[in-house]
């Protein structure tokens, strides 16, 4: 017989060592892939932010590669490899991201502006829970173009602040292997525990591949949890001995321009600014002087055919940064005990000067503290007023909280206060791995004119079961007539409301595989009574017969509605069209269809029709989004109402168009034009933003209002402003 290596003892011994080595390597890799920890690598060299990922630091840092599909095929590995590593210096945290792609020509990336709509593009999402409290965190998002979006996360995904703008940067590259990103987040942007030399932070990563609607995540890929659920994050370890020196950021602004109103031209000039002092990694002090919000986007027009005031969201960055700290926990928008748009804006949403303000936000151990005081000026109609707010929230158990808050308004010796307590029990392990929340709030108002009124109170309780296949929500709230939060918004008064909704979301397993998920709702009921009499104020019942979204991204729904209104007085729904007091019941149908918004051209349309009071109405609302390329996006919206009542017929139209443009991730803007027949006003808003360096901004703003009621259009006002916000760190 010839020589057989299989029988050779030396060969067998060598092969045995090889197999043992390979097995141990495989086992080690598997265990690393399944680990819920990632080690941050310390480097004393500054990282060059270029998106190349070819520096030594990225070769030495631990990389995680185990990403699991949440969509479309739950539990399966990612179809495209993804790798992430973390490094840090004394000054900043760095994230290296490798998004490999076998078809780089099919990467979807048509956004470059700041705070882009990241749900439309391929993207990478980083979540940091720097307190490691399983409740709050920061989200940072980028796409293959290097666009940036950031959010604050609260209540373990219960709410977001999408308008928070942190100081951070990113660079990306696209090659034949995919796209790659290098993220830099200064530690001064974050808040973390100051009493720990060895930091342990919650951290999670998500990648979205838009062309096939694939979503992969490092941790928490169960469909009951979103990336906002910071309690599902893994652990970032290895960050030691962070520099905890005080940090002072000075952001002065200068504004200049001209305004033409009623044919008269006047110059506009202002200076002011903010000072931000990082007292510790836990507490931050904000001071603002002669505060200006010229760069804020214009409100979108709305046509109101209800008898209740409209709600417009806060858009000003100063108030949005601490949004969650000053939330009474009341939920919804029937009663908003603290509505920051009451500060610096009058009832017509015209600017009231803000002389100065101070705010402290922070968290120490398990206690979250927020304090704010704003002094507004006398604008000829409103006297100088002080608004002061204080909030406290205490973490209880793994995810629950209790808290208290007071808001005070002082004008010419008159004092008003709105004070309340709230609490929320929350768990993500109900019946195994399901989410459950229940809680409530109680609020009392008081002013020195009327004295203490024991009936000037309101309360709300709720139960929430927000999970993938079954969602249940119910709430009850009450507000007697004397309750009046003067720094809030009351969309209803003197009422009791009961609300409940149940929806099922099964996913086809064998048949109808082209459907991703159904959406059926046997009942969604809102019942509102007049508080003292128990008479009907409003009623709405919805039955969703059919609802689903496809694996390619289309959405379809069909609903039947029963609606009622109890009018205690005549209601002028439109000029010269008055509905007499009485109780009205009617039936309606609603159909919705939308295409996948990640495509170059997408459509969202809704049709509603049927009875309306003791007549009929038809409403259609359609939005077309055309993302031509990464430089230009056009949004067209049209809303039509046709109302036929015994007391008069009328039609309304609302037309708006928003053009967004971006030259690069640091130079972008938008143009918004909108008009409606109810107000017969044409509004135009143009914004250009340049970011010379991260934290510094230049804005060019043009606002114009045209009265279209006459035979010839009349320009009511035109404003052209240039504003520079500079950032210094000392």
* Pairwise CA distance, residues 263 & 261, whole Å: 5
377, with CB counted inside 10 A (0-12, 13-18, 19+), is middle
Within 8 A by CB and 6+ apart from 357, the residues are 286, 287, 288, 291, 318, 372, 373, 374, 375
195-216 mean pLDDT: 92
Q: Which pLDDT band, with edges at 50, 70 and 90, does 202 fall under?
A: very high
Q: Which pLDDT band, with edges at 50, 70 and 90, does 673 fall under?
A: very high
Q: Is the pLDDT of residue 696 over 50?
A: yes
Q: Where are the domains of the chain?
A: 35-240
CATH tag for 35-240 (out of 3.40.50.740, 3.30.70.1150, 3.65.10.10, 2.60.40.1190)? 2.60.40.1190
Using the structure block, give the residue that is written with the tokens 């043009």: 702
Using the structure block, give the residue that is written with the tokens 């950031």: 150
pLDDT digits 0-9 by tens, 74-89: 999 999 999 999 999 9
* Pairwise CA distance, residues 720 & 500, whole Å: 48
324-330 mean pLDDT: 81
419-431 mean pLDDT: 92
Q: Which pLDDT band, with edges at 50, 70 and 90, does 16 fall under?
A: very low
- Cβ–Cβ under 8 Å, residues 654 and 620: no
- Token pair for residue 15? 């092969």
Within 8 A by CB and 6+ apart from 491, the residues are 308, 309, 311, 333, 334, 335, 336
Q: Is the pLDDT of residue 6 over 60?
A: no
Q: Which pLDDT band, with edges at 50, 70 and 90, does 17 fall under?
A: very low
- CA nearest to 107, candidates 68, 146, 139, 69: 146
95-116 mean pLDDT: 94
Model pLDDT, residue 548: 96
Among the listed ranges 324-338, 437-451, 654-668, which one has the minimum average pLDDT value?
A: 324-338
Q: Which pLDDT band, with edges at 50, 70 and 90, does 178 fall under?
A: very high
- Token pair for residue 398? 């793994």
586-598 mean pLDDT: 95
Calculate the alpha carbon distances from 222 to 431, 463, 674 in Å: 14, 22, 42
Among the listed ranges 2-16, 280-294, 331-345, which one has the minimum average pLDDT value?
A: 2-16
pLDDT digits 0-9 by tens, 337-350: 888 888 887 766 67
* Pairwise CA distance, residues 333 & 538, whole Å: 15
Mean pLDDT of the chain: 88
Percent of the chain with pLDDT over 70: 93
CA 238, distance to chain mean position in Å, is 31
* Pairwise CA distance, residues 387 & 407, whole Å: 7
- Cβ–Cβ under 8 Å, residues 343 and 376: yes
Q: Which pLDDT band, with edges at 50, 70 and 90, does 43 fall under?
A: very high
Please tell me the total number of residues recorded for the chain in this structure.
730
- CA nearest to 156, candidates 215, 216, 202: 202
- Cβ–Cβ under 8 Å, residues 164 and 153: no
What's the CA angle centered on 384, arms 379 and 390, to 5 degrees? 130
- CA nearest to 630, candidates 667, 595, 604, 594: 667
pLDDT digits 0-9 by tens, 472-481: 999 999 999 9
- Cβ–Cβ under 8 Å, residues 215 and 693: no
Model pLDDT, residue 122: 95
Calculate the alpha carbon distances from 434 to 203, 216, 332, 468, 670 in Å: 21, 20, 23, 9, 41
Among the listed ranges 83-87, 92-96, 269-273, 653-657, which one has the minimum average pLDDT value?
A: 269-273
Using the structure block, give the residue that is written with the tokens 């008479």: 535
- Cβ–Cβ under 8 Å, residues 436 and 400: no
DSSP code of 451?
B
* Pairwise CA distance, residues 697 & 694, whole Å: 8
pLDDT digits 0-9 by tens, 552-585: 999 999 999 999 999 999 999 999 999 999 999 9
């Amino acid at each position: 017989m010839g020589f057989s290596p299989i029988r050779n003892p030396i060969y067998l011994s060598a092969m045995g060592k090889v197999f043992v080595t390979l097995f141990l390597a495989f086992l080690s890799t598997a265990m690393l892939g399944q680990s819920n920890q990632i080690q941050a690598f310390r480097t004393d060299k500054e990282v060059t932010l270029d998106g190349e990922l070819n520096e030594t630091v990225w070769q030495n840092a631990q990389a995680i590669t185990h990403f699991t599909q949440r969509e479309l095929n739950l539990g399966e590995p990612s179809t495209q490899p993804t790798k992430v590593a973390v490094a840090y210096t004394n000054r900043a945290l760095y994230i290296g991201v490798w998004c490999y792609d076998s078809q780089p020509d099919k990467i979807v990336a048509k956004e470059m502006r700041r705070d882009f709509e990241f749900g439309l593009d391929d993207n990478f999402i980083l979540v940091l829970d720097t307190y490691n409290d399983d409740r709050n965190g920061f989200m940072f998002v980028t796409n293959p173009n290097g666009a940036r979006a950031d959010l604050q996360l609260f209540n373990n995904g219960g709410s977001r602040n999408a308008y928070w703008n942190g100081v951070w940067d990113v660079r990306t590259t696209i090659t034949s292997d995919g796209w790659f990103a290098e993220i830099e987040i200064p530690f001064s942007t974050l808040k973390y525990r100051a009493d720990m030399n060895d930091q342990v932070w919650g951290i999670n990563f998500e990648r979205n591949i838009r062309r096939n609607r694939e979503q992969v995540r490092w941790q928490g890929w169960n469909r009951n949890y979103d990336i906002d659920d910071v309690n599902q994050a893994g652990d970032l370890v290895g960050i030691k001995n962070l520099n905890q020196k005080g940090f002072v950021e000075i952001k002065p602004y200068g504004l200049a321009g001209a305004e033409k109103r009623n044919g008269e031209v006047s110059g506009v000039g202002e200076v002011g600014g903010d000072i931000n002092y990082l007292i510790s990694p836990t507490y931050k002090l904000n001071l603002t002087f002669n505060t200006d919000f010229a760069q804020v986007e214009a409100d979108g027009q709305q046509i109101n055919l209800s008898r209740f005031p409209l709600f417009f969201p806060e858009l000003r960055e100063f108030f949005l940064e601490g949004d969650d700290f000053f939330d009474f926990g009341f939920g919804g928008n029937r009663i908003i005990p603290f509505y920051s748009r009451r500060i610096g804006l009058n009832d017509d949403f015209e600017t009231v000067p803000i002389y100065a303000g101070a705010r402290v936000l922070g968290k120490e151990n398990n206690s979250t503290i927020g304090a704010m005081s704003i002094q507004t000026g006398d604008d000829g109609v409103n006297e100088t007023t002080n608004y002061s707010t204080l909030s406290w929230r205490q973490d209880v158990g793994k995810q629950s909280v209790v808290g208290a808050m007071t808001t005070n308004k002082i004008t010419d010796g008159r004092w008003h206060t709105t004070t309340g307590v709230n609490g929320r029990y929350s768990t993500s392990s109900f019946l195994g791995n399901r989410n459950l929340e229940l809680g409530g709030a109680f609020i009392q108002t008081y002013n020195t004119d009327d004295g203490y009124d024991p009936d000037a109170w309101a309360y709300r309780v709720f139960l929430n079961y927000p999970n993938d296949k079954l969602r249940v929500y119910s709430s009850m709230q009450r507000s007697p007539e004397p309750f009046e939060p003067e720094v809030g918004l009351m969309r209803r008064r003197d009422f009791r409301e009961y609300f409940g909704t149940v929806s099922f979301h099964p996913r086809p397993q064998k048949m109808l595989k082209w459907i991703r998920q159904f959406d059926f709702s046997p009942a969604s009921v809102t019942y509102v009574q007049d508080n003292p009499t128990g008479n009907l104020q409003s009623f709405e019942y919805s039955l969703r017969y059919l609802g689903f979204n496809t694996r390619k991204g289309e959405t379809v729904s069909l609903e039947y509605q029963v609606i009622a209104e109890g009018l205690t007085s005549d209601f002028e729904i439109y000029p010269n069209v008055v509905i007499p007091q009485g109780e009205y019941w009617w039936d309606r149908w609603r159909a919705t269809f939308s295409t996948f918004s990640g495509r170059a051209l997408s459509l969202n349309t809704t049709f509603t029709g049927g009875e309306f009071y003791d007549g009929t109405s038809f409403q259609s609302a359609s939005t077309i989004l055309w993302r031509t390329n990464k430089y230009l996006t056009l949004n067209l919206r049209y809303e039509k109402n046709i109302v036929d009542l015994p007391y008069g017929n009328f039609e309304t139209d609302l037309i708006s168009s928003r053009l967004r443009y971006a030259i690069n991730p640091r130079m972008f803007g938008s143009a918004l034009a909108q008009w409606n027949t109810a107000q017969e006003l044409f509004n135009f808003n143009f914004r250009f933003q340049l970011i010379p360096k991260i934290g510094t901004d230049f804005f060019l703003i043009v606002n114009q209002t045209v009265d279209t009621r006459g035979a010839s259009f009349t320009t009511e006002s035109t404003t052209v402003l240039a504003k520079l916000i500079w950032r210094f760190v000392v």
